[in-house]
Chain A
Amino acid sequence: MSYDKDHTVIRFDIVKNRRKFFIASSVIIIIGLLFTLFQGLHLGVDFKAGTRLDMFIGKTFNPTDVEEVIKKEVPNVNFSKVTPYGENQAYTRFDQTISSDTLMKMEMALKAKYGQQVSKQVSSVDPSIAQEMVQKAAIAVAIAAVGIAIYIAIRFQWLFGIACVVGLAHDVFIPIALFSILGLEVDITFIAALLTILGYSINDKIVIFDRIRENLRTMKSKTIPELEHLVNVSLWQTMRRSVYTVATVFFTALALAVLGSESIQNFSLALLFGLVSGTYSSIFIAAQVWVNLKERNMKKKKEVM
C-alpha cells in the first residue's frame, strides 16, 4: 500500500519551515492582543446596553437631516453619527435605551419628512441583560472548545487533542483580533460565527489528523526525518481537499458578505476571516504543533533507552 504514499508530490516542505509559520501567527496574535487591550472591541447593543435604530428611508437623504430629526425627539441623549448603508438605509446607536413612544415619534417625524415608505428596525437591550449575554457567550465558546477537544482525545490521541486546542485558540482569536483592528461591531451573531468557525476548523483538523493517523499505520515513522516526511505526505495528500472545501464555503460566505442583508454582513465577514484562519491553522499550526509534541515524545523515549 505504500506506493501512493511515496508518490505524493511534495511541492514545499511545510514541516521543515514550521518555525516560520509559528512566528507569523504569533506576530498577528500579538498585534491583535495589543489592539484588543488598548482599543478594545466595538461592542454592539447585544453586549452593551442601549438602543440601535436602523432606518429604511427609501429615498436619497442627508444624514445630518436625519440627525436633526432625532435630536429634536431626544435632545439629551448621546447617539452615534447617522451612518448610511445599502440603498437608502442608515443606522444609529443610542447610549441608553429609548422608549417605544419616543421611537414611534421619530418614525412619524421621518415619515412626515420622507414619506410613508419609511420603516424602522429597533433593537434595545437593558444593561443587566447585556452583561448576562457576554457571560453566556464566553461560557458557550469555552464549553464548545472543551467538548470538541474531549471528542478528539477519545477518537484520536491526547497529543492530537492538544494540537487541536492550540489550533482552535488560534482560530477563535484571529477573527477577534481582526475585528478589533478593523473596529467592526461585535454582536450576538459574531458569537454564532465564532462557534461555526470552531466547528469548521475542527472539521479541517480532523480530516488532516485522520490522514496522519492512517499513514502512521502504513508508513515507517521511527525516526524524526521519517515522521516529518509522513506529515508532509499527509498534508499534501489532503491539500486539494483542504483548498477546495474552503474555496466552496468561502464563495458562499463571500456572496453573503457582499450581496447579503446588512444585518448579517458582520457575521459573514467573521466567517470569512475564520474560514481562512481555520484552513491555515489546520495545515500550518495544528499539524505542526503535533509534530513538535510527537518529536519531543520520541526524544524522551530515546533518552530512556
Chain B
Amino acid sequence: MVKWGRFLLFLVVVGLLATLVATTTKQVAGNITLGLDLQGGFEILYEVEPLEAGHKVDIELLKSTAHMIERRINIGGVAEPVTTTELPNRIRVQIASQSADQDKLRELIGKPAHLTFRDENGKIMLQGSDLAPNGAAVGYDDLKRPLVTLKFSDPKKLEEATRANLHKPMAIFLDETMQTNPTIQSVISGGSAQITGNYTQESAQELADLLNSGAMPAKLVEKQVTSVGASLGTLALEKTMYAGYIGAALIFIFMLVVYRMPGMIANITLAGFTYFCMVVLDWMHATLTLPGIAGFILAVGIAVDANIITYERIQEEIRSGKTVLSAFRAGERRSLITIIDAHVTTLIATGVLFFFGTSSVQGFAVVLAMTIIVSIITNVFGSRFLLWLVVRSNMFKKPFWFGVKESEIREL
C-alpha cells in the first residue's frame, strides 16, 4: 500500500530546502569574505624587532604592535585588516581589498613615527607620548597653508621646555628626520604648538593621524610578502568556480545513472550540503581562499563517498534477495561505522594540518574540517532521513529504482 503521507512529507522537506536555497543563496554567497587570492590584496609576514638593542620581544609588545598596525591601516582607509600574532616574534597582516593602494599601505605600516622635540644639543625635551589623546590635528597658517597643530596633555611640561630654550631653536623630529626647526619666540603656556612645513591638506592629515596613532613600539622587518592583483584574483575565482560546476555536474549525472532514486536523494542532499557549508562559512566569518575552495571540492568527494558506501551496501543486500525495506535497513546500519571511521581519520588529518600548517594550509584545514562535520549532518543523517521517507512511502519497491537488475537478484 502506498503511504502518501510519507511521500508528501518528503516533498515538503525537499520543497522547503529548495525554496530556502533558491531564495537566499545569492545573499549568503555575497556575504562570504573572499581571500586575497580571490579578490586581490596582500599578506605580509613581519618579524618584530625591539627598538633598542637588548630589549626582548614579548607577547605584550607583539600585541601592541599588531594593534598599532591595525590603526595605521585604518588611516589608509582600508576596512577590516586581519592581523595575527605568531609567537615568538611575528605578525601576519592580511588585507583583502581590490582598492587598497598596497605600496602606500606597506609604507605606512612600516613607519615608526616617533615624534621628538629636541634642543640645540639634540637632547630630547618632549616626545610623542606627551601628546594629548588625539592631540594632533590639521590647522592653517595665516596664508591658509596646511600645518599640523599639537596639543600636549601637560601644558606645564611644554611651558618648562619652552622657557628653558627661549630664543633658541627647538627641532621637531619624526624618527631621525627633522621636520622643522623653529626658534622659540615666547614661552608657550597654553599647551599648543605647531609643526609647519611644506604640507598639502592630505599629507598634513596623514601626519596628524600618524602622530595620533603614536609611535610603532617596535621595528618591523618584512619576511614574506604575497600580493595578488585584483584581476588575477578574480580570474582565479572564476576559473575555479567554473571547474567546480563541471565537477559537480559530473557527480550529479553519475549518481543518477548508477543509483537512480537514492542517487537523486544524494544529489538533493549534496545541494543542501553545499548551501549549508556556505551558511556556516558566513557565520564563522571565515575567509574563503583558493586552497579553501579546493578543500571544499574535496569534501564534496568525501560526502559523495558516504552515499556511495551506503548505496553499494543497499544494492548488495537487495541482490542477496532481501526486500527493499530490509535491504535499506541492513545497508544503512552496516555502512554507518565505515563512514564514521572514514570521517574521523580525515578530521585527524585536518587537525594536524591546522596545528602544524602555515596560514594558507590552516585555511584549507578549517574549511575541510567544517565541511566534514556538515557532511555528517547532511549526507549521512539528512540523506538517510530522506531515503527512509521515500522507502517507507512504499512507492519505490522495485529494485529498478535502486539500480539493481532483477536478473542479479539471487533466491533466498
Q: Which of B185-229 contact A (CB under 8 A)?
A: 222-229
A252 to B344, CA, bound (A): 22
**Contact indicator per residue, chain A 125-162, by CB within 8 Å of chain B (1) or not (0):** 11011000100100110011001100110010000000
Q: What is the CB-to-nearest-CB distance from B237 to chain A, in angstroms, rounded to a whole number?
A: 8
**Contact at B341–A155, with CB atoms within 8 Å?**
yes
Q: What is the CB-to-nearest-CB distance from B108 to chain A, in angstroms, rounded to a whole number?
A: 13
Contact with A203, one of B102, B346, B358, B364 (Cβ below 8 angstroms): B346
Residues of B within 8 A of A302 (CB): none
**Contact at A252–B251, with CB atoms within 8 Å?**
yes
Residues of A within 8 A of B246 (CB): 255, 259
**Contact indicator per residue, chain A 229-251, by CB within 8 Å of chain B (1) or not (0):** 00000000110110011011101
A151 to B258, CA, bound (A): 33
Q: Which stretch of B1-9, B72-80, B129-137, B308-316 is in the interface?
A: B308-316
Residue B342 at the chain A interface, CB threshold 8 Å: yes
Contact with A188, one of B103, B227, B360 (Cβ below 8 angstroms): B360
Chain A residues within 8 Å of chain B by Cβ, number: 73
**Contact at B247–A128, with CB atoms within 8 Å?**
no
Residue B172 at the chain A interface, CB threshold 8 Å: no
**Contact at B251–A248, with CB atoms within 8 Å?**
yes
Contact with B349, one of A54, A124, A144, A271 (Cβ below 8 angstroms): A144
Q: What is the CB-to-nearest-CB distance from A104 to chain B, in angstroms, rounded to a whole number?
A: 5
Residues of B within 8 A of A210 (CB): 337-338, 341
Residue B21 at the chain A interface, CB threshold 8 Å: no
Q: Which residue of B lies closest to A107 (CB)?
A: B229
Q: What is the CB-to-nearest-CB distance from B294 to chain A, in angstroms, rounded to a whole number?
A: 5
**Contact at A58–B231, with CB atoms within 8 Å?**
yes
A260 to B245, CA, bound (A): 11
A interface majority secondary structure? helix
Contact with B338, one of A124, A125, A198, A207 (Cβ below 8 angstroms): A207
Q: What is the CB-to-nearest-CB distance from B105 to chain A, in angstroms, rounded to a whole number?
A: 10
**Contact at B243–A148, with CB atoms within 8 Å?**
no
**Contact at A256–B247, with CB atoms within 8 Å?**
yes
Q: Which residue of B lies closest to A132 (CB)?
A: B358
**Contact at A256–B346, with CB atoms within 8 Å?**
no
**Contact indicator per residue, chain B 227-269, by CB within 8 Å of chain A (1) or not (0):** 1111111011101101110111011001100100000000000
Residues of B within 8 A of A192 (CB): 291, 294-295, 353, 357, 360-361, 364
Contact with B352, one of A188, A195, A214, A240 (Cβ below 8 angstroms): A195
Contacts known (A251-B247, A261-B236); A241 close to B312, Cβ less than 8 A: yes
A198 to B319, CA, bound (A): 33
A268 to B346, CA, bound (A): 18
A210 to B334, CA, bound (A): 10
A144 to B353, CA, bound (A): 8
Contact with B308, one of A117, A120, A136, A244 (Cβ below 8 angstroms): A244
Residues of A within 8 A of B239 (CB): 259-261
Residue B138 at the chain A interface, CB threshold 8 Å: no
Residue B48 at the chain A interface, CB threshold 8 Å: no
**Contact at B240–A122, with CB atoms within 8 Å?**
no
A244 to B320, CA, bound (A): 21
**Contact at A249–B360, with CB atoms within 8 Å?**
no
**Contact at A256–B361, with CB atoms within 8 Å?**
no
**Contact at A195–B342, with CB atoms within 8 Å?**
no
Residues of A within 8 A of B338 (CB): 206-207, 210
Q: Which residue of A lies closest to B36 (CB)?
A: A121
**Contact at A259–B309, with CB atoms within 8 Å?**
no
Residue B58 at the chain A interface, CB threshold 8 Å: no
Contacts known (A249-B298, A264-B290); A140 close to B242, Cβ less than 8 A: no
**Contact at B224–A124, with CB atoms within 8 Å?**
yes
Residue A92 at the chain B interface, CB threshold 8 Å: no
Residues of B within 8 A of A62 (CB): none
**Contact at B294–A207, with CB atoms within 8 Å?**
no
**Contact at B103–A100, with CB atoms within 8 Å?**
yes
**Contact at A136–B226, with CB atoms within 8 Å?**
no
**Contact indicator per residue, chain B 318-350, by CB within 8 Å of chain A (1) or not (0):** 011000000000000010011001101110111
Q: Which of A1-40 contact B (CB under 8 A)?
A: 3-4, 7
Residue A221 at the chain B interface, CB threshold 8 Å: no
Residue A169 at the chain B interface, CB threshold 8 Å: no
Q: Which 8 A-B pairs have the closest CB atoms?
A: A119-B229, A252-B247, A249-B301, A261-B236, A140-B356, A199-B349, A259-B243, A255-B247
Instruction: Identify 13 new A-B residue pairs, CB closer than 8 A, beyond the known A147-B351, A248-B251, A263-B236.
Output: A4-B319, A86-B235, A100-B106, A117-B231, A121-B228, A125-B224, A126-B222, A144-B352, A148-B345, A188-B358, A192-B291, A261-B290, A267-B294
What residues make up the interface of B, taking CB atoms closer than 8 Å to A?
A: 37, 40, 45, 102-103, 106, 222-233, 235-237, 239-240, 242-244, 246-248, 250-251, 254-255, 258, 290-291, 293-295, 297-298, 300-302, 304-305, 308-309, 312, 316, 319-320, 334, 337-338, 341-342, 344-346, 348-353, 356-358, 360-361, 364, 368, 410
Cβ contacts A to B, 23 pairs, < 8 Å = A89-B232, A100-B103, A119-B229, A120-B227, A123-B226, A126-B224, A143-B352, A148-B345, A189-B361, A191-B361, A192-B361, A199-B346, A200-B302, A206-B338, A240-B312, A245-B304, A252-B251, A254-B247, A259-B239, A259-B242, A263-B37, A263-B236, A264-B294
